Structure 1
């Protein structure tokens, strides 16, 4: 089991090939009553045209937010799960995209909202007419229920056996239809709303169709959810990172919380998505300000699969929805873009490190409560990584202790991102950490012309 690099795309805003939108591409995002209806025209063919970009970045999987026929640009209000929104293209476009991705060994996760669908759907219209579809929708006290009381998002009665067959159980069900077309994996929207029993049933039937993974949207402690699904969108990490880098948690407390959740979740947490932002939140630079690089370092070095929200690798900004859903700024894709160079270096480091992809996590005890440090190692000391974050305005004299028997006296550790070096003294690590800094340190295995303490290790 190992972590991978993911890339989230909000299809309407990535790249337009067919130009079927109702809004010119460069139109600024406006937050008004029409925000959810503006279609900029991004489509599946447009995504396919950017395969070389994904390959150059080093992406392992693409996650698309919903593509089904819907009543909005976010498409979490499906009208028909069996049809692709015609603005995005058709089944041939999806098949061609999948084939092009697979040629580059890139997998596709498709998003599906099973908890609710549009009140404009054919099913709900028939339900209001008293037809059999009335049993497809959830009721309490004789009234239909709506997700978070949004009147456009009517909740489905997922306990209905017939609906279960239509959505995921039968060979001609919604989810199996798209897997037969080539979709590799699924992201379940509002997985926490589905409940444990429904999730277990979905996983059971999807796994019968092959090696398909299921990642759930869960805004909670990961353990019980990871036991059912392959992983979650790890908002628990997100909250910890935000609170540490904004000063609401000390490094010591952050370390204790991270160690608990990682030990509790086990290695399955490697499949969970480490995400800092998405179509539902402000973008990274808006959240973390000048500390954004520290956040991304944590995203890539904590156990899990880093998920990049489209455009953040080129420095795009945007406040909360709808401003986080701006069109991809392709003009910023340039070899001189410092943000892009930072991401490419970090992605390359991640992909070449077994410690970061599948290594164990070790808590590090620091003499300074502001410092956050942790250690990742798979098998070989040569690839081990010591991560250190100092979000304060002060230089820190650190002294670190952790469970590594191969920290040999009088050797050094060096940072991948700077010239800073740390000294190993009798199994502990010492040194100075600059203010407002991050580091990923590796072992310098040979410091002498002929001698190495690691020659037989």
Structure 2
């Protein structure tokens, strides 16, 4: 089991090939012009056209928010789970996209909202007429129920045996249809709404097509019980820890304790959970973290889990709460002078070449300063280990760190991948300086002597 790098795309806003939108591509999103029915026209063929960019980023999987036929640009209100929204393309477009992705060793994860669907779907229209589809929808106290009382999102009655067969159980069910077409993984919208028993059933039936199909759940809660059922979750629990630590409302010492317990409770399955900092549901990274954004991204890539990049974050795109976090991809920012892109590319390269970050265990690091967060990742050897140090304060810090590494000898040097900063070893502990509002990812390298090696028998 290992962590992978994911890339999230909100299809309507990435790239338009067919130009089927109802507004011009670069039209700014404003409070006045915003509507869920505003379509910029991004499509599946457009994503395929940008495969070289995705390949150059060197991501492992692509996660698309819903692509099924609906009335909105977000498409969490599906009208037909068996049909791709015509604005995005058709089945052949999806098939071609999958072929090109797989050719470039990129997997595809699709999003599906099973808790609710559009109140304009043919199923619901039939239900209103007391036809057989009425059993497909939750009905309480003389009325249908709606997700968070949004009348456009009528809730499905997943207790219906017939509905479960249609959605994921039968060989010709919706989820199995797209999986057989070539979809690798699934993200379950509102997984917490589905409940443990239904989640177990979905996992069982999709994995009957192959154990390599991962099921990731949208869960805004403590990971432990959820990832015992699914392969992973969108780890918003990390997000709130990182955000609160960097905004000063959570002491790094306390953050370290929470992280240690969370990772211990979750086990190595946490490697497949998505490390989130932003998404279509939340402000973009620079809006949330300001000048500490690099510290947040470092934690996203070095805590156990699979870092998920929300499209455009690697370019420095900004945007506040929904809908402003859903701006069109700013392709003009893809250039060799973009410092944010260079930072991401270096971090992605480091991640992809580090077995410790992809597979390694997490070790608590105790600091002499409660305002410093540090942790250690290692797979097998101290030579692959990464010591991560975060200083979110406005002061330079003299640090001394203590952690469980028996081979941390005075004959080792610790070098930062991102600066010329070095730490040194004192009797198995680590000492040095960390500048204000900075980070370090330190790798360990034995000192070079002419004839001597302290590791000759280790």
* Contact 2:414 2:424 (C-alpha < 8 Å) held by counterparts: yes
1:375 maps to: 376
* Contact 2:411 2:454 (C-alpha < 8 Å) held by counterparts: no
Partners of 1:11 and 1:96 in 2: CA distance: 16
**Residue 27 (1) aligns with residue 20 (2):** no
TM-superposed deviation, 1:444: 2.2
Q: Superposition pairs for residues 278-357 of structure 1, below 5 Å?
A: 278-357=279-358
Mean alpha-carbon deviation: is it higher for 416-425 or for 403-412? 403-412
TM-superposed deviation, 1:34: 4.6
1:444 maps to: 445
Partner SS state of residue 221, structure 2: coil
TM-superposed deviation, 1:32: 4.1
Note the alpha carbon deviations across 1:98-143, whole angstroms, 9 max, x for none: 0000001100000000000011111000000110111100012121
Mean alpha-carbon deviation: is it higher for 175-184 or for 369-378? 175-184
Note the alpha carbon deviations across 1:306-353, whole angstroms, 9 max, x for none: 000000001000000000000000000011111000000000000000
1:103 maps to: 103
Partners of 2:170 and 2:393 in 1: CA distance: 56
* Contact 1:410 1:425 (C-alpha < 8 Å) held by counterparts: no
Partner SS state of residue 318, structure 1: coil
1:10 maps to: 10
TM-superposed deviation, 1:390: 0.2
Note the alpha carbon deviations across 1:176-208, whole angstroms, 9 max, x for none: 110111111100000000000000010111111
**Residue 202 (1) aligns with residue 198 (2):** no
TM-superposed deviation, 1:409: 1.9
Partners of 2:34 and 2:393 in 1: CA distance: 43
Partner SS state of residue 390, structure 2: strand
Q: Superposition pairs for residues 35-114 of structure 1, below 5 Å?
A: 35-114=35-114
* Contact 1:2 1:271 (C-alpha < 8 Å) held by counterparts: yes
1:267 maps to: 268
* Contact 1:372 1:388 (C-alpha < 8 Å) held by counterparts: yes
Note the alpha carbon deviations across 1:385-416, whole angstroms, 9 max, x for none: 00000011111111110000011025321110
Q: Which runs of 5+ in 2 are unaligned?
A: none
Note the alpha carbon deviations across 1:229-265, whole angstroms, 9 max, x for none: 0000000000100000000111100000000000010
Partners of 1:300 and 1:59 in 2: CA distance: 13
Partner SS state of residue 223, structure 1: coil
**Residue 435 (1) aligns with residue 436 (2):** yes
* Contact 2:69 2:85 (C-alpha < 8 Å) held by counterparts: yes
Partners of 2:35 and 2:390 in 1: CA distance: 39
Note the alpha carbon deviations across 1:75-119, whole angstroms, 9 max, x for none: 000011110000000000000000000001100000000000011
Q: So what's the TM-score if we normalise by structure 1?
A: 0.99
Partners of 2:231 and 2:134 in 1: CA distance: 33
Partners of 2:213 and 2:352 in 1: CA distance: 22
Partners of 2:327 and 2:131 in 1: CA distance: 41
Partner SS state of residue 79, structure 2: strand
Partners of 2:94 and 2:405 in 1: CA distance: 48
Partners of 1:454 and 1:237 in 2: CA distance: 37
Partners of 1:34 and 1:340 in 2: CA distance: 29
* Contact 1:411 1:447 (C-alpha < 8 Å) held by counterparts: no
Partner SS state of residue 278, structure 2: coil
Alignment RMSD, CA only? 0.9
Partners of 1:299 and 1:406 in 2: CA distance: 27
* Contact 1:410 1:423 (C-alpha < 8 Å) held by counterparts: no
Q: Which runs of 5+ in 1 are unaligned?
A: none
1:384 maps to: 385
2:129 maps to: 129
Q: Superposition pairs for residues 84-233 of structure 1, below 5 Å?
A: 84-210=84-210, 211-233=212-234
